[in-house]
């Protein structure tokens, strides 16, 4: 299954919140939605927390592409 | 009579003074064509600037010539900024040039820009419908710009500030000069072919129209249009509009702004997610409270608090009805009984037995009661009924 885009997950969160807030679901459905929402929120947070800063520079050598950490040159 | 002439030097000095007093002559921008151009070995440039009807001598000192981004030549149309002053030795005035820009070429560039813009617009390269949305949370930002200078530094600074865990891939490209456009276009293609990023920023700092020119070239425009990865164009200052800006999925006024558009503020996103979690919790809590309230309301209903009340009430009604039924039956019975007794008494009064008891008899012939003598003939057999029985008799 294709991984859901972040914005799609955010949209899902919004939908779940709206539906829950309407209060029309019965208790079982509400609990199910709540659990689903919390799971998604946790996934989002995991995405945010697990990213790791990386600034690289791509160097082309013919057809080869090398990736190195980018160290900014001091300004003259 | 005494004459009081001044010297030639004095005259020229006077004229020079007049020139220097004039603000316009001190800072004049003039357009014309170069002729008699001489780049003297001392480094100064001597030339004349002319139009159809007139000319003026010009000189540009060595200290200014190093700033030129063109090589002046005869026939070149230029715009010169400088001061008009008097060269006392020769008694001539000339333009002391401080800066010079080529006019015709810029005009050509402007025309080329307009032509390409119109052409691509007609082809639909700027259509809003073709523009792709910029991902909210790109995993990797691809940046095409020079690997030195303020642009990449600004992008990294802004991006890192918004998301300390940002992932940036810089693909260094020349951003001005010959061949830059082709390299930029190839860079965009490479990013797409190898899926090196989720969004591409094409950036360059401010500069003249010539400096920004690669971003006005068709090859770059087409590469941006063909890109399946969303492209943010951030070329020059806020007031510079390049063809790239029009084709790109999003135009950022500056490279820093491009970083802001591409990189979400992680704190804001985290807050947003947190807000959702709160909303979920609040909603569920409210739901539970509501259910509890409903439950409590149900439980306070007299059905639950006094479950027998209803039954007792109903039983009382039934009993009441039964009692009233009994009463009615009794009263009907008594009424009927009284009626019956009355009838019996009457019946008793009229009873033939009573008459018989008094000594009367009843004569019957063939079962019929005989009330008149004419009904009887001699020899008729009759029955006489009396108080205590019957006797048969014959009429004589």
Query: Is residue B333 within 8 angstroms of chain A, CB to CB?
Result: no
Among chain A residues, CA nearest to B160: A53
Query: Is residue B174 within 8 angstroms of chain A, CB to CB?
Result: no
Assess contact for B388 and B358: CB atoms under 8 A: no
Least CB-CB distance to A45: which of B152, B166, B273?
A: B273
Within a domain: A75: no
For residue A32, the chain B residues in CB contact (below 8 A) are none
* Ordered structural domains, chain B, with CATH: 8-102 (2.40.50.140), 120-264 (3.40.50.10550), 353-394 (no CATH)
The pLDDT-based confidence of A1 (bands split at 50, 70, 90) is very low
For residue A74, is pLDDT > 60?
no
**Which pLDDT score, from 0 to 100, does residue A26 have?**
85
- Taking CB atoms and an 8 Å limit, are A13 and B291 in contact across chains? no
pLDDT digits (tens, 9 = 90+) for B292-341: 998 888 888 877 788 788 888 899 999 999 999 999 999 999 999 999 99
Indicate the SS3 state at residue B250.
strand
**Which pLDDT score, from 0 to 100, does residue A46 have?**
84
Average of pLDDT values for B269-277? 91
For residue A41, the chain B residues in CB contact (below 8 A) are 273, 276-277, 280
Among chain A residues, CA nearest to B141: A55
Within a domain: A1: no
For residue B147, the chain A residues in CB contact (below 8 A) are 57, 70, 73
Residues within 8 A of B (CB atoms), A 1-40 only: 5-7, 10, 13-14, 16-17, 20-21, 23, 25, 27, 30-31, 33-34, 37-38
Measured at the CA of B331, the angle between CA B328 and CA B337, to 5 degrees, comes to: 140
pLDDT digits (tens, 9 = 90+) for B50-93: 988 999 999 999 999 888 878 888 888 899 999 999 999 999 99
Return the bridge partners of B46, or none: B38, B59
Within a domain: A17: yes
Q: What are phi and psi of B103, to 5 degrees?
A: -95, -50
Task: State the ipTM, two decimals.
Answer: 0.81
Rounded mean pLDDT of chain B?
Answer: 90
pLDDT digits (tens, 9 = 90+) for A33-63: 999 999 999 988 888 887 788 889 988 877 7
Those residues with Cβ within 8 angstroms of residue B264's Cβ, 6 or more apart along the chain or in another chain: B136, B137, B162, B163
pLDDT digits (tens, 9 = 90+) for B98-138: 999 887 666 677 788 888 999 999 999 999 999 999 988 88
Average of pLDDT values for B155-167? 91
Average of pLDDT values for B285-294? 89
**Which pLDDT score, from 0 to 100, does residue B105 have?**
64
Those residues with Cβ within 8 angstroms of residue B323's Cβ, 6 or more apart along the chain or in another chain: none
**Which pLDDT score, from 0 to 100, does residue B67 have?**
81
Of B241 and B223, more confident: B223
**Which pLDDT score, from 0 to 100, does residue A76 have?**
44
Average of pLDDT values for B342-368? 85
As given in the structure block, the two tokens for residue B46 are 């001597």
pLDDT digits (tens, 9 = 90+) for B4-60: 899 999 999 999 999 999 888 988 999 999 999 999 999 999 999 998 899 999 999
Q: List the domain range (segments joined by +) for residue A54.
A: 6-69
Query: Is residue A56 within 8 angstroms of chain B, CB to CB?
Result: yes
How many domains does chain A contain in total? 1
Distance from CA of A70 to the nearest CA of B (A): 8
CA distance B172 to B203: 11
Least CB-CB distance to A20: which of B166, B169, B283?
A: B283
Q: What are B69-73's contacts with CB under 8 Å, separation 24+?
A: B69/B208, B69/B210, B70/B100, B70/B101, B70/B102, B72/B34, B72/B37, B72/B45, B72/B47, B72/B100, B73/B34, B73/B37
Edge to edge, the sheet with strand B368-369 lists B368-369, B362-365, B381-386, B389-394
Q: Which pTM value belongs to this model?
A: 0.57
**Which pLDDT score, from 0 to 100, does residue B185 have?**
95
Query: Is residue A54 within 8 angstroms of chain B, CB to CB?
Result: yes
- Taking CB atoms and an 8 Å limit, are B283 and A34 in contact across chains? yes
């Amino acid at each position: 299954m294709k991984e859901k885009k972040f914005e799609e997950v955010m949209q899902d969160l919004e939908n779940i919140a709206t539906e829950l807030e309407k209060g029309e679901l019965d208790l079982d459905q509400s609990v199910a939605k709540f659990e689903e929402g919390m799971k998604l929120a946790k996934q989002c947070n995991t995405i945010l927390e697990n990213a790791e800063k990386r600034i690289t520079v791509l160097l082309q050598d013919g057809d080869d592409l090398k990736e190195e950490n980018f160290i900014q040159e001091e300004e003259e | 009579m005494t004459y009081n002439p001044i010297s030639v030097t004095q005259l020229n000095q006077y004229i020079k003074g007049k020139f220097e007093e004039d603000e316009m002559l001190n800072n004049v921008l003039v357009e014309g064509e170069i002729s008699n151009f001489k780049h003297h070995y001392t480094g100064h440039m001597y030339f004349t600037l002319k139009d159809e009807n007139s000319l003026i001598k010009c000189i540009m000192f060595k200290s200014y010539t190093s700033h030129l981004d063109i090589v002046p030549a005869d026939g070149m149309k230029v715009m010169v900024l400088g001061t008009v002053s008097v060269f006392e030795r020769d008694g001539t005035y000339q333009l002391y040039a401080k800066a010079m820009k080529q006019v015709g070429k810029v005009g050509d560039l402007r025309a080329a820009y307009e032509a390409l813009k119109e052409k691509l617009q007609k082809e639909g390269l700027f259509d809003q419908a073709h523009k792709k949305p910029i991902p909210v949370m790109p995993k990797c930002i691809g940046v095409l710009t020079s690997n030195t200078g303020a642009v990449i530094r600004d992008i990294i600074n802004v991006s890192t500030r918004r998301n300390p865990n940002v992932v940036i891939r810089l693909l260094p490209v020349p951003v001005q000069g010959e061949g830059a456009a082709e390299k930029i276009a190839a860079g965009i293609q490479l990013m797409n072919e190898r899926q090196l990023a989720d969004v591409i920023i094409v950036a360059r700092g401010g500069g003249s129209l010539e400096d920004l020119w690669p971003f006005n070239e068709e090859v770059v425009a087409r590469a941006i249009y063909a890109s399946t990865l969303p492209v943010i164009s951030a070329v020059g200052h806020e007031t510079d509009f390049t063809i790239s800006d029009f084709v790109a999925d999003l135009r950022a006024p500056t490279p820093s702004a491009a970083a802001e558009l591409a990189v979400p503020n992680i704190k804001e996103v985290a807050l947003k997610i947190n807000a959702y979690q709160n909303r979920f919790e609040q909603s569920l809590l409210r739901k539970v409270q509501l259910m509890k309230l409903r439950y409590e309301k149900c439980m306070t209903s007299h059905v639950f608090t006094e479950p027998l009340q209803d039954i007792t009430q109903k039983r009382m009604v039934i009993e009441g009805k039964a009692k009233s039924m009994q009463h009615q039956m009794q009263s009907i019975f008594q009424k009927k009984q009284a009626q019956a007794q009355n009838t019996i008494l009457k019946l008793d009064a009229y009873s033939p037995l009573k008459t018989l008891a008094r000594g009367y008899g009843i004569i019957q012939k063939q079962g019929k009661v005989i009330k008149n003598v004419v009904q009887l003939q001699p020899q008729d057999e009759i029955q006489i009924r009396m108080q205590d029985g019957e006797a048969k008799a014959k009429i004589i």
